[in-house]
Each structure stands twice: as structure tokens, then as C-alpha cells.
Structure 1
């Protein structure tokens, strides 16, 4: 099965066609934004958005950061968001919206490298899905790695989490299903952890926690910490972050991963 609908968007780019795509997931019509290069697709980047609803929505400018002349970039909206059918379950069946998009693209471009980028809420979205997919690497950027840490840290989001998931004590099994670390092993695809030391939306302790857990499991990973940056790096720092992300993707594709990604 391919995308069931493609709607050309009013964004004019020299090297890419921008479309809103629709595909079936669990009998629901789910949408996403996709940038397809005019030239051969050699790399695919799956951007996993943060937030919920209009907060953190997928935008062309964000996807464009990961695009080059041979890279296709797609950002699923997730069910229940921006015209997609269904209800956002916050790491529930909405995970299928990610996995199905990747399987669709892998069938269309079987020789392309596939990298996932999980930003903020999308961090855990990626950790819960990347294990059994044809993924080259995963980049978690300012991302949630532990739902319990998120509940403790974001007092302002506790009401939303209780509505969508339940209370951590009363509905512990629902939180356990969203505990991604148990799925990660030494054979998992390599992970790049990107985080800002002044991030007040997703504290850097989420990154420290993930790095510690990955080290214990013998997983391949690198870290890139910008200790003076917040949730979204300032323009000059953002340039360095994107350079690091692109270098990481190239290194993984070429079969060698450098050790020089840490920044004080």
C-alpha cells in the first residue's frame, strides 16, 4: 500500500516537492508533511514532532533543516492532529503512525538510509518504535526518554497526562507500556543524544538517564550536549547542532562513528 493521497503544498523549493500526504493506519486516515527531492532519494529522515495539537506542529521550516538534494524528509502529524483521523493517545496506538510511514517509504526506497529524529515528545515516540524497523540511526533531540521523569518534571502537564494515560500509580501498567529502555540492547541501531543544558521543557537529566541506560546495555551511542542552550538552540548554536547531526548520519552510513560529539 502507498500513500492514498498527496496534496501539493504552496511551498516553493528549488530541490524538493512539498506535499501533505495521507496514509492508512489502523483503518484511520493519518496525515503528514513530506519533502521529496527531485533527484534520487539516498537518505530518508523521519521527523517525530513534539507537543500536542497545535503546539509543536510539523512545519516546513523544521523539516527543511534536514533536507539536502538527495534527502526525503517526512513529519507524521500523528492521529487526532491537524486533520488526521482518530485520537492522539500519547505513545499509544499513535506509535503505529510512525511505523507505518517508515514501512511505506522503505518499500518505495529500499536502498535509502533511514534516520529518525525525535524532538521533545517525539523522543520517546522514537525510542518506542525504532527497534524493529529498518532504521540506520536514531537522533533524540531535547527528547523525553522516560515518561515517569516527564510526569515528575512537568507539573503543568500532569493533568494532560492523567487524562490521556492515567495516574502513574493507579494505572502503572499503562506507564510500563511506555517504558522504552527495556526494549533497547547492544544490537539496537546507534543513537545520537542531543540536548541543551538550559532546557527547561525537557530537562537534561532525561539525556543523562538515557545515556546511562544505553551504556549499561552496551548500546552504540554518542552525546552532544550544549550546556548554554535551551530546548531549541539559538541560531549560532543551531548551526553547530545541525552540522553534528549531518556528520553523525554520514558517519553511521559509512560504517564509522566518531567519538568527538561532546561539547562543554
Structure 2
């Protein structure tokens, strides 16, 4: 039997960045063969690990090679799971349910990867990936840092705010928050932050209609109640997606923040 995070296949993928190699990988996750994208700087040597956890579900919010290469160009080995059931992977994605194991296993992949500096793996989540990043960092006490950018922190709040997502949530969770509160709580990291050890950076646009900034406010408030190491960067003029130039600037800044931890 394979161990979680073990790479089963690795194939070259066209890279949009001349300084970065990209690969599609198949790795073992809780008994399933799951797919993901791996990015490595072309320059020889070891680098800190960067686990990129995407938002959306299925065809919405797929991993973008240019985005993964962007983070790798900042000096990281980047692993971005597609999550189970996507792009040829086995199983079915269930929005921070059992598919959290795909993030946990990808974290193990990075920790054991031959070019990742020992013990230095950061976790990044965008949108729905915020929940995945927090759950991964709660599960793994040795995470170096965690960044939530426009991230979901409260699945009850997502159900309330995103009427357009209620059918999907009821399908993957099994019903409404009223009928199955324990399932929504299990998917809400706010209830488990006492177990988090890694420092947290929160990034959010105040005009975000996809994931309201209330998610970040609640996360920040709870972390501060716990006297946790947390920093918040809020942007008044931006929504879920930042303008390209500002996006690049923030990526450079968050990379520096990670490497300082």
C-alpha cells in the first residue's frame, strides 16, 4: 500500500514562465489517486515548500498554471492539488469534507520532496481554499505559516450569503445547516483554531462579493481572542480579484512575509 503524499506519476507540463518547471503529478491520498500541479524553480538548489489550495469546486476555480508558476518564481516549490474527482483523479470532491485529505496528503508530499528544505512548508488558500488551508494547518502542527486570501472561514456564513451555492452545498454536505449543523461545523475551522500553531496572514478585498470580508473579520477576531500570531491586509478598493499590478505586488509581499516566519 502506498503512503499518503507518495508521487505515483510525474509528467512535464508546458510552463508559462521560463524560470519555472511545471509537472502534473498523480499522488496517493487516502486510498485514491489524485492529480495536482507541481512547480519548481529551474535554478538548482532547495527551496521552501508552498502548498497552494484552490477555491471553487470542480470546473469553477481550477488551478491555473500561470498562478502556480508565479508563486514558484518567488522561490518556492509549489504543489497545487486539483482535489479528488478532478482532471482524471479518482473520487468525488465534497467542498472541505473528505477531500481535505487531498490537501493533507499534498502537504506530506511537499514535506518529503527532495528539493524542499526540511521542515519548511507554507500553506496558502484562496477563496474556498481558505478553509482547506486552515484545516490543513490545524491538522499539521509543523506548518511554517498560513495565508488566507479572500478565504472562506465559516461554512454557515457561506450558506447564508451565497444563495447560488446552496444547491451544491446541500448536495455535498447532505442537507442544510439546520438539518446537519455538525457537518457544517466540521467544515468550519473557526471551531478548531485553538489547535492551530502556525502564524496567519489574512488578505481580503473589502468589496468582495464572492467571499464577504466578514469571513476574514471573524477569523481575525477569533485568532486575536486566542492571542494567536495574526496579521491582516485589507484593501478598500478591491473585490475577489485584484488588478494585475497590485496582485503581483501583494504576491511579492506575502512571499517575503512567509519567508520571515
- Common fold by TM > 0.5: yes
Whether 2:30 is the aligned partner of 1:26: answer yes
Residues 6-155 of structure 1 aligned to structure 2 (within 5 Å): 6-11=10-15, 13-38=17-42, 39-68=44-73, 70-108=75-113, 109=116, 111=118, 113-133=120-140, 134-155=142-163
Q: Offset of 1:25 from its aligned partner? A: 1.2
The superposition leaves residues 106-164 of structure 1 with CA deviations (integer Å, 9 ceiling, x where unpaired) of: 12335252111100010011111212323100000000010011111101111111111
Q: Offset of 1:54 from its aligned partner? A: 1.3
- Secondary structure of the equivalent of 2:139? coil
Q: Offset of 1:242 from its aligned partner? A: 1.3
Contact residue 32 and residue 77 of structure 1 kept, 8 A: yes
- Secondary structure of the equivalent of 2:107? helix
Structure 1 unaligned spans of 5+: 253-264
RMSD of aligned alpha carbons: 1.6
TM-score by length of 2: 0.91
Contact residue 45 and residue 73 of structure 1 kept, 8 A: yes
Q: Offset of 1:250 from its aligned partner? A: 2.2
The superposition leaves residues 206-261 of structure 1 with CA deviations (integer Å, 9 ceiling, x where unpaired) of: 11111101111111110001110010101232133213212211221xxxxxxxxx
1:9 & 1:149 partners in 2: Cα distance? 38
Structure 1 pair 187/56, CA: closer, same or farther in 2 (3 Å)? closer
Structure 1 pair 110/236, CA: closer, same or farther in 2 (3 Å)? closer
TM-score by length of 1: 0.90
Structure 2 unaligned spans of 5+: none
Q: 1:236 aligns with which of 230, 242, 245?
A: 245
